[in-house]
Amino acid sequence: MSEDICQNLATVKDRIAGACVRAGRDPEEVRLIAVSKMKPLDDIKTAFDCGQLHFGENRARELQEKMEACDEEQIQWHMVGNLQTNKIKYMVDRVNWIHSIEKKKYLREIEKRASRINRTIKTLIQINISGEEQKGGCEAGDLASVLEYAQALEHVEVCGLMGMATFVEKGNAEAVRPQFQRLRQLRDKHRSYDSDNIRLEHLSMGMTNDMEVAIEEGATMVRVGRAIFGERNY
């Protein structure tokens, strides 16, 4: 069955709006990142034609290929997957946001590459909120030292925190509410950081199965794949 991507986008926006109503929030505060990993460029173009501007990918090569093949300049590209130092060079010339900073060395590499082409990259520090090693992210206790390192950089902005909760089936999202709460508390604790390039406004949390709970807990970016593009075939 082929997906009706425009209809799916409308449904996801309704879900976001519903969660905002329950939380007393303005839906304008919640940005939808359409996670298009493993989906063809045509699906991205379809979503773009329906008004979607933010797209996320989780692999450096796939992100690079799609950014190069897609000539829509209004699109904002988000890297949301685990990084490797030697892959950062494939994204710096086009990517707008990198959500998955878990080590100072990634910041150092982004600074080095972005300074050569005089770009500034917006980043989020990924925190391991689930306790699962394969999900990546640094420990909450490491955040202060990562921010201290970042404040000396000139081509990197730190705009918030990102977290990936434990996978839950749809309908069980309540179980991960405490993980989102902890991320928000951590963000609030470091929010008034006295540096021009560090402003922890954003909370990137919530996916297809748990976006409502994430929004109730303060998400400003939700990263949604399957609810927009359909199931992925591995």
206-225 mask for ligand PLP (x: CB under 6 A)? -xx--------------xxx
Q: Which is nearer to ligand PLP, 37 or 108 (CB)?
A: 37
- Residue 195, strand partner residues: 198
Q: Which of 6, 27, 29, 37 binds ligand PLP (CB under 6 A)?
A: 37
CA distance 51 to 96: 18
Q: Which of 39, 78, 81, 160 binds ligand PLP (CB under 6 A)?
A: 81
Q: How far is the CB of 57 from ligand PLP (least distance, A)?
A: 9
Q: Which of 8, 36, 46, 58 binds ligand PLP (CB under 6 A)?
A: 58
DSSP 6-75: HHHHHHHHHHHHHHHHHHT--GGG-EEEEE-TTS-HHHHHHHHHTT--EEEES-HHHHHHHHHH---TTP
**Using DSSP, how many helices (H) and how many strands (E) does the chain show?**
8, 8
- One-letter amino acid for residue 196 of the chain: D
CA atoms within 13 A on the CB side of 114: 24
CA distance 59 to 61: 6
Q: Which residues contact 174 (CB under 8 A, 6 or more apart)?
A: 213
Q: How far is the CB of 194 from ligand PLP (least distance, A)?
A: 30
The reply on whether position 80 binds ligand PLP by CB under 6 A is yes
Q: Which is nearer to ligand PLP, 58 or 197 (CB)?
A: 58
135-164 mask for ligand PLP (x: CB under 6 A)? -----------------------------x
CA distance 128 to 165: 8
Q: Which is nearer to ligand PLP, 189 or 232 (CB)?
A: 232
Q: How far is the CB of 84 from ligand PLP (least distance, A)?
A: 15
Q: Which is nearer to ligand PLP, 160 or 225 (CB)?
A: 225
Residues that bind ligand PLP (CB under 6 A): 35, 37, 58, 80-81, 164, 207-208, 223-226
